[in-house]
Amino acid sequence: MAETFKYIHASDLHLDQPIRGVAELPPHLKSSLANAPYEAAFRVFDEAIAERVDFVLLSGDLFDPKTSGPRSFAFLIEQFNRLMERKITVYWVAGQVDPPNHLPSGMELPCNVITFSSSDVEVVQHHKNGTPVATIMGAAFAVDRDEFSDFFASPNTPFPIAFTHGEIEPALTEKSNIRYWAMGGRHTSLEKKTTDGWIVYPGTPQGRSVFETGSCGCTLAQVDGEQELRLSKIETDCIRWLPQIINVSEDTSVDALKNTLAERASKISRDAPQKNALIHWHLLTTGELNPSFRQAARRNALTEWLRTEFGAASHGCLWTTSVSIEPPKQLPGQWFDEDTILGEYLRAIGRFQNDERLGISLQEFLPKQFKHGSFAGMAQLTQETRAEILNESIMIGVDYMATDLSNDQPPTISSPDDPEST
């Protein structure tokens, strides 16, 4: 029977990249967000120590030496030394931004760190008690890599691990005899079965934006004496992006909507107690269009209420980043026919929606020095972006000019069961 062993696989630490996309934050969350990438990475190495793993695989993009300050490298050296004290080997393959052979001058890696900086496959065997238990075939990220035939092992090779950074499909792994593809380059975790084993992207230990939602962490792999592989995910994120979709009717009262949101917030807290979360609430509506329900002042007041009710805790804080409502598929036809400012505004927008030849130019709003070059290119709109802007413009007009909003008042900030809430 073969030696048992286990390892942790992590990637895309991006220590130099802060959490982004949050315009407002309470004081008690600012420090947490600023340190989140480091705290999440620290938990990866902590788990390696707690699990007493035999080695750690780091599949690239740990930090960018060109944009990082000394903190990122000093942090990694400290963690590598912690592992060295416990005789845990670190294997680090270069990603898109972090070739280990281009580290700042004068900064040396501890002896327990083995790096793969070449795009050619290099092979290292990991030993335990004098016996080779794993064969690590590592190659750095290569832009032009379109095949993986160099990652190949004979049937009697001790537990073959392909170790690289980039995109791969299961079809490219056939007849490779690779048991574990330790991949990097995706910020969301992904596991794909192959004919011989698994392709694993552990994802980033800490989500940075609303596009990196849900739990983030690393992968723990355990290989038993029969060479059977068991995978489990370890959560390491300090703060979590959790966008929520709520189905409501256009005629839902403020009290009813608050109760619905409070129930969902309570469920989030139960599912992940003590976990700080950033939440964008998106309302999907049914029923006849109700302009007062969509009023910006109402959404803003609802945002403030959610922050007051659920965003005050330093641990288990549910901080609302925004509240949005799905645009209606169609507005009442009579609104376009009205002899009002709103009617004229909607007809003007409608002309742009019905004729894609009518351009929307943002270049004229650029300062003179930015009217040419890359900045000018950024001002060019795709058809999809153009449609989104027009739809949003319609709703802004409805918000400010629909006549039946004139007597409607935004909700006050109060608890869901407050009899005086509106």
Count other Cβ atoms within 10 Å, centred on residue 174: 9
Instruction: Name all domains of the chain by residue range, CATH numbers in brackets.
Output: 5-239 (3.60.21.10), 242-405 (no CATH)
Q: Say whether pTM exceeds 0.85.
A: no
Q: What percent of the chain has pLDDT over 90?
A: 57
pLDDT at 411 over 50: no
Give the model confidence (pLDDT) of 53-70 as tens digits: 999 999 999 999 888 888
Contact 335, 346 (CB under 8 A): yes
Query: Pick from 313, 217, 316, 234: which is nearest to 275 by CA?
Result: 316
Give the model confidence (pLDDT) of 382-407 as tens digits: 888 888 888 888 888 887 776 554 44
CA-CA distance, 55 to 93, in Å (whole number)?
14
Dihedral angle sign, alpha carbons of residues 64, 68, 71, 74: positive
Return the SS3 of 161.
strand
Give the model confidence (pLDDT) of 100-154 as tens digits: 776 666 678 999 999 998 889 999 999 999 999 999 999 999 888 877 889 999 9
Six-digit token pair at 342? 């709103």
Count other Cβ atoms within 10 Å, centred on residue 65: 17
Give the model confidence (pLDDT) of 321-352 as tens digits: 999 998 887 788 888 888 999 899 999 998 99
Give the model confidence (pLDDT) of 226-284 as tens digits: 999 999 999 999 999 999 999 999 999 999 999 999 999 999 999 988 889 999 999 99
Distances (CA, A) of 70 to 8, 64, 384: 26, 11, 42
Phi (first) and psi of residue 257, to 5 degrees: -65, -40
CA-CA distance, 139 to 124, in Å (whole number)?
11
Q: Tokens 């949050």, residue?
A: 22
CA-CA distance, 148 to 174, in Å (whole number)?
10
For 74-96, b/e burial (b = at least 16 CB within 10 A) is ebbeebbebbeeeebbbbbbbbb
